[in-house]
Amino acid sequence: MDSISYYLQTVLNGILAGCIYALFAMGLTLIYGVLNFVNFAHGELIMWGAYFLFLFMAEPFGLPLYVAVFPALALTGCLGLAMDYSVFRPIRRANRLTLLIAAMGLSVFLRNAAQFFWGAEVRTYGFEVMAGTQFFGLYLTTQQFAIIGVTILCVIAVYLLFFRSRLGKSMRALSDNLDLARISGIDTKRAIRAAWVISAVLAAIGGILLALDTNLHPEMGIANLIKAFAATLIGGVGNLWGALLGGLLIGLAENIGVLFISPGYKDGIAFVIMVLILLARPYVIIGERSD
Amino acid sequence: MDLLLHLLIVIAIYAIFALSLNVEVGYTGLFNFGHVAFFAIGAYTSALLTLAGVPFVWSLPAALFMAGLCGFLLSIPALKLQGDYFGIATLGFGEILRMIVNNEVWLTKGPMGLPGIPRPELFSIVFDTLPRYLILSSGFALLTFAILGFVVLSPFGRALKAVRDDETAAEILGKNAYRFKIKSFAIGSVFAGLAGVLWAHYTTFIGPGDFTLTETILVLLIVVMGGKGTFLGPVVGAVVLIVFQESVRFLRLPPEWTRLLGPLQQMIFGLLLVVLMVFRPEGIIREKGGRR
């Protein structure tokens, strides 16, 4: 492979990783917009989404991938709702520290529950590793085609939902001002439920794509939470399109970055970008006051 | 008897660790999810120095200085973030630090860890037996308790609480909230470093596996369960949770159970955090005049 296509391949890999980060970041920023807090357990939705698919593809179900995806996404949506009902709704009006620590506790609980059931070992869905299809000197596997295709579909779906439907309008109203939305007669409970389901499903889709391309393990969620967060910071917190762009940028930066530094630090690049943004534009993301 | 001494030593170390986090979480309202990083910096600094032949009398202050300096440097960009984001920034820092420890093999031996850390020697007394080490660690625990108690009772401590409860009001009264938060974070980091030093010289072996998010969660749970923003809360929390954790470790269980025991224990810790937040966010000991 000559050097130009090597660099192009790096860029392509960056875009692939970026698509997945974008899906994570959009879910994270959506919950932030509507409920005004960072869901620390978002990473666990990513991980459980991937493991739910594993569950339905393994015995006793043994469903093929294209069928198993649907119950897996549905279950992750339910998990998102369950998180809200059992933990976040009772403390919706509590102070921020309470919310944040509860989210952290939930994250610990869900991560270790996955480890309890499936063990700490790295797993795969059991597809054989295929040589990628070559075109224009670049290699792409079927999974990677899927990543790009599914991400584009999700972005279109999110666009239609948010900017072309009443439900989306009510969610946007909520993220502007919760109380104002409520007294305007918007069914805020319904909008919040919808936000949780969408956020969880986006997380699950991202998690499944990531696991298809690489593998599954219980720490996969928390490892990606920081990247999703860095992506939301780049785009401006609460901004869906910003999250999309931020995700792509983080993916590109990571993959181009390892050309220059040790791959052992690949996962640290997102953090460094985050710190650089903060130093350069310190007031962008300070956002609302805590109470 | 040895088990009891071991328990008391670990409780003393975690009490210091928890007291340091309490300054940040309890008194200043900072969401530090990477506190273990400063514990690790303290542990590694002192371990590396003493392994290189530097006496403990010098490695201890060096370690505290390093932990405090790193806390100070991190807090400059990170504290520009509002609450939740500060939490993620510190979480990220904790992970970065573990990455550095894993990758900079020339310095830290990476995943192999550092074995054979010498027992501390102060004023020509070597703290090499369990009872002696208990005296050392509980001495430092009392000292920490006294110093941090003095700090939070001082006007400085009241200013921290003011910043926590209403940043705008504190600013209007002429308190620079940002600077107070930086100071609070640096103080917390120094004492987390102290706990790390005591830990490294107690176990005599440290590796990157000792400084994971799990440790941060444990110490956070200790503070939250005991009662954040109170004097005795972190100590009470440390006693309850360390006794629980260490006694589980000493149960003689079949090996196929122990594989499940780790995640199960973490599940309990996570659930405890959630249940506490929903039903009793103030913890066992309630802060006087504190609000939910």
Residue B20's pLDDT band (cuts 50, 70, 90): very high
For testing contact with chain B, the best of A40, A97, A225 (most B CBs within 10 A) = A97
Q: How much is the pLDDT for B289? A: 63
Q: Check: CB of residue A105 under 8 Å from CB of residue A52.
A: no
Residue B292's pLDDT band (cuts 50, 70, 90): very low
* Segment (H or E) for A57: helix A42-57
Q: Please report whether residue A2 resides in a domain.
A: no
Round to whole Å and give the CA distance between B63 and B69: 10
Q: How much is the pLDDT for A2? A: 67
Of residues A105, A268, A289, nearest to B273 (C-beta) = A105
Q: Check: CB of residue A19 under 8 Å from CB of residue A229.
A: no
Residue B1's pLDDT band (cuts 50, 70, 90): confident
Among A112-126, B74-88, B233-247, which is the least confidently predicted range?
Answer: B74-88
Round to whole Å and give the CA distance between A186 and A167: 9
Per residue, the 3-state secondary structure of chain B, as one string, reads CHHHHHHHHHHHHHHHHHHHHHHHHHHCCCCCCCCHHHHHHHHHHHHHHHHCCCCHHHHHHHHHHHHHHHHHHHHHHHCCCCHHHHHHHHHHHHHHHHHHHHHCHHHHCHHHCECCCCCCEECCEECCCHHHHHHHHHHHHHHHHHHHHHHHHCHHHHHHHHHHHCHHHHHHCCCCHHHHHHHHHHHHHHHHHHHHHHHHHHHCCECHHHCCHHHHHHHHHHHHHHCCCCCCHHHHHHHHHHHHHHHHHHCCCCHHHHHHHHHHHHHHHHHHHHHHHHHCCCCCCCCCCCCC
Give the range of the structural domain holding residue A63, as residue numbers without chain letter. 19-119+132-218
Report pLDDT digits (tens) over B146-182: 999 888 888 888 888 888 888 788 778 777 888 888 9
Q: Check: CB of residue B59 under 8 Å from CB of residue B217.
A: no
For testing contact with chain B, the best of A37, A44, A101 (most B CBs within 10 A) = A101
Among A24-38, A135-149, B258-272, which is the least confidently predicted range?
Answer: A135-149
Tokens of A282: 């310190």
Report pLDDT digits (tens) over A14-66: 999 999 999 999 999 888 888 888 888 999 999 999 999 999 988 788 888 88
Q: Please report whether residue A77 resides in a domain.
A: yes
Q: Do A229 and B85 touch (CB under 8 A)?
A: yes
Of residues A38, A230, A271, nearest to B84 (C-beta) = A38
Q: Check: CB of residue B165 under 8 Å from CB of residue A95.
A: no
> Closest Cα partner for A106 from A96, A94, A98?
A98
Round to whole Å and give the CA distance between A19 and A21: 6
Residue A1's pLDDT band (cuts 50, 70, 90): low
Mean pLDDT, residues A185-210 taken together: 90
Enumerate the residues of chain A whose CB falls inside 8 A of the CB of residue B274. Answer: 87, 102, 105-106, 109
B contact residues 194-213, partner A, Cβ 8 Å cutoff: 213
Mean pLDDT of chain A: 84
Enumerate the residues of chain A whose CB falls inside 8 A of the CB of residue B263. Answer: 112-113, 115-116, 120
Q: How much is the pLDDT for A75? A: 94
Structure letter (DSSP) for residue A15 = H
Report pLDDT digits (tens) over A206-260: 999 999 888 888 888 888 888 888 888 887 777 788 888 889 999 999 988 888 8
Q: How far is B223 from chain A (nearest CA, A)?
A: 11
**Domain positions in chain B:** 2-212
Q: How many CB pairs under 8 A join A and B?
A: 153
Structure letter (DSSP) for residue A36 = S
Q: How far is B182 from chain A (nearest CA, A)?
A: 15
Enumerate the residues of chain A whose CB falls inside 8 A of the CB of residue B278. Answer: 87, 90-91, 102
pLDDT: which is higher, B1 or B71: B71
- At position B26, the amino acid (one-letter code) is G
Q: How much is the pLDDT for A288? A: 38
Of residues B25, B96, B267, nearest to A113 (C-beta) = B267
Q: Measured in Å, how far apart are chain A's first and last C-alpha atoms?
A: 56
Q: Please report whether residue A13 resides in a domain.
A: no
Q: Please report whether residue A89 resides in a domain.
A: yes
Token pair 């599940």 is found at B267
Enumerate the residues of chain A whose CB falls inside 8 A of the CB of residue B221. Answer: 105
Enumerate the residues of chain B whose CB falls inside 8 A of the CB of residue A104. Answer: 33, 87, 217, 220, 273
Q: How much is the pLDDT for B117? A: 86
Q: Please report whether residue A34 resides in a domain.
A: yes
Q: Do B88 and A226 touch (CB under 8 A)?
A: yes
Mean pLDDT, residues A190-199 taken together: 91
Structure letter (DSSP) for residue A87 = I
pTM: 0.88
Mean pLDDT, residues A62-82 taken together: 91
Share of chain B above pLDDT 70, in %: 98
Q: How much is the pLDDT for A182? A: 81
Q: Do A264 and B84 touch (CB under 8 A)?
A: no
Q: How much is the pLDDT for B41? A: 94
Whether residue A71 has pLDDT greater than 90: yes
Whether residue A284 has pLDDT greater than 70: no
Total structural domains within chain A: 1
